[in-house]
Amino acid sequence: MKISLFFKDKMPSFILSTSFYLITLLMFLAFKIDSSLIIVFSISFFLLLLSLFLISYFKKKSFYNQLLFNIENLDKSYLVLETINKPNFYEGKLLYQALYDINKSMSENIKSFSLQTTDFKQYIEMWIHEIKIPISSLNIMAHNHKDKFDKKTLKQLKKIENYVDQVLYYVRSNNPEKDYLINEVELNKVIMNVALKNKDSLLEQKIDFIVSNINNKVYTDSKWLEFILNQIINNSIKYKKETTNSYIKVEVIEESDKTILTITDNGIGIPTIDLPRVFEKTFTGNNGRLKTKSTGMGLFIAKNLCNKLGHKINIESKEGEYTKVFIIFSKNKYYEVAR
């Protein structure tokens, strides 16, 4: 609260008082009143005016300055009312009450939205569990009646499965509640599950899946990690080169404070300009536009999940040569990760 602006605001009453003073002065002169009385009156009048002005300024200053300062410094400025003292002047009380009422009605409004979102998320999760039952049935049907289903059907089924998974993990990655569990997980097992999931496409597209001797254990949620790896392997399969002998190599580097899992392919790679943006939501890049339709959600969700689990994920690539994904698990910092 600036004193100059406050003064400017009070200008009308100041002018009014001054004109009142001038009228009185003229009257004093007309009645030929002693000049010493006029001086005394003038001094006391202006003293009164100044003190009224200052009192009202300081009274308001402490309240408004606190309010403005706290609004600026709180990261959730809507909580400001909780941090300031209730004012003791009428205007301030009015403002305080108004802010309180606005806040309350906004909170109610937000609450109804958040309830709606939670409802929606719960419905989606339930729906996903439901849709998995017919997908399972179809999977087994295809297995039981190989003569009626061909590989193409199974491939489409796999695609449905993957898209359903993406929705599930998108919902989960946005949930403020914790629905993951950090455990000691054998990387070997997770890699095996992902490999088995993609076995048919890998064999059909003649991509060699090379896994060096991996017996490392990391702290993670195995289901989430499985999803993350699945997105990466899916991309490697999708963006393979048509000409060379394709491979996907999975390796582990063990360091004193971290375990690094790398997935390398010799696919078409990612253009340098697209590289910094591959984790952005709905970013498809040049490759995504070249190849079949891409949603640009897979890596975005993978990154989100990694952040929640406390892992780091990075991509290194050279266009036309290779793509290498790093997932970094920190070691012995269980509580830090779990938090």
Partner 1 sequence: MKKILIIEDDESLCLELKELLENASYKAFVLKDFSNILEQITEITPDLILLDINIPGTNGEVLLQNLRKTSSLPVIMVTSKNTEVDEVLSMSYGADDYITKPYNPTILLLRIASIFKRMENNSSICTYRDLTINFQKGIIKKSNIEIILTKNEMIIFSYLLNNRNKIVTRDELMTDLWNNNEYINDNALTVNISRLRAKLKEVGFENAIETRKGIGYILL
Among 71, 195, 275, 338, binds partner 1 (CB under 8 A): 195
Residues 217-256 that bind partner 1 (CB under 8 A): 221-224
**In the structure encoding, which two tokens stand for residue 169, read together?**
């993990």
Q: Which two tokens stand for residue 15?
A: 């002018």
Distance in angstroms (rounded) separating the CA atoms of residues 162 and 135: 11
How would you write 263-321 as a 3-class SS string? EEECCCCCCCCCHHHCCCCCCCHHHHHHCCCCCCCHHHHHHHHHHHHCCEEEEEEECCC
- Binding letters toward partner 1, positions 11-50, x by CB under 8 A: ----------------------------------------
| Residue 206 found at the interface with partner 1 (CB under 8 A) | yes
208 touching partner 1, by CB under 8 A: yes
CB atoms inside a 10 Å sphere around CB 216: 16
Under the binding rule (CB under 8 A), the answer on residue 196 touching partner 1 is yes
In the complex with partner 1, the residue whose CB is nearer, 193 or 314, is: 193
Residues with Cβ within 8 Å of 336's Cβ and at least 6 positions away in sequence, in order, are: 310, 330
Beta bridge partners of 299: none
Of 44, 183, 282, 286, the one binding partner 1 by CB under 8 A? 183
Q: Which of these ranges, 9-17, 36-44, 71-79, 124-132, lies near partner 1 under the rule CB under 8 A?
A: 124-132
Q: Which of 99, 211, 260, 338 binds partner 1 (CB under 8 A)?
A: 211
Told to check if 144 binds partner 1 by CB under 8 A, we report yes
DSSP 8-state secondary structure symbol assigned to residue 43: H
Stretch that binds partner 1, among 35-43, 202-210, 282-290, 323-331 (CB under 8 A): 202-210
Shortest Å, Cβ 159 to partner 1: 12
What CA–CA distance (Å, rounded) separates 298 from 230? 9
Residue 179, interface with partner 1 (CB under 8 A)? Answer: yes
C-alpha dist (Å) from residue 86 to 44, 62, 301, 331: 34, 11, 45, 50
- Which residues contact residue 236 at a Cβ distance below 8 angstroms, ignoring those fewer than 6 apart? 207, 248, 263, 265, 267, 323
**Smallest gap, in angstroms, from Cβ of residue 139 to partner 1?**
5
In angstroms, the CA 229 to CA 263 distance is 9
- Where does this chain touch partner 1 (CB under 8 A) — which range of 20-28, 139-147, 228-236, 282-290? 139-147
Instruction: Determine which residue in the list 104, 111, 143, 155 makes contact with partner 1, applying CB under 8 A.
Output: 143
Least distance (Å) between residue 306 CB and partner 1: 16
- For partner 1, the binding residues (CB under 8 A) are 128-130, 132-141, 143-144, 161, 168, 179-181, 183, 188, 191-192, 195-197, 199, 203, 206, 208-211, 221-224
